[in-house]
Amino acid sequence: MYLHAGDPKGVISRLADEMEEAQLGAGREVLGAARTLLDDPDASRPELRFTATRLTECLFDALRIAESRGERLADDEDEGEAEDR
């Protein structure tokens, strides 16, 4: 279930945008750390497992954001078509 806020500049939309940006920021940080760890031939199995877990969490968040934004774009297109009639 995704949030559908009628006003893209409203409080709920701004909070959702801030949450998405925080999630994407965390993803960027985890990706940077993962790249560094993968370049280390001495990285331990627990370190690699932890990193894989965090990358999986970040990918889940990114996909959820993409789906949510895609649904919002589709809703906006539907509303635009309805207004054109």
Inter-helix orientation angle 11-38/45-84, to 10°? 150
The 10s digit of each residue's pLDDT in 25-67 is 999 999 999 999 999 999 999 999 999 999 999 999 999 999 9
pTM of the model: 0.71
- Whether the Cβ atoms of residue 1 and residue 66 lie closer than 8 Å to each other: no
- In terms of Cα–Cα distance, which of 72, 60, 55, 61 is closest to 23? 61
Specify the pLDDT at position 63: 95
The 10s digit of each residue's pLDDT in 2-15 is 555 566 678 888 89
Question: Residue 1: is its pLDDT beyond 50?
Answer: no
Q: Is 41 helix (H, G, I), strand (E, B) or coil?
A: coil
- In terms of Cα–Cα distance, which of 36, 19, 30, 18 is closest to 58? 30
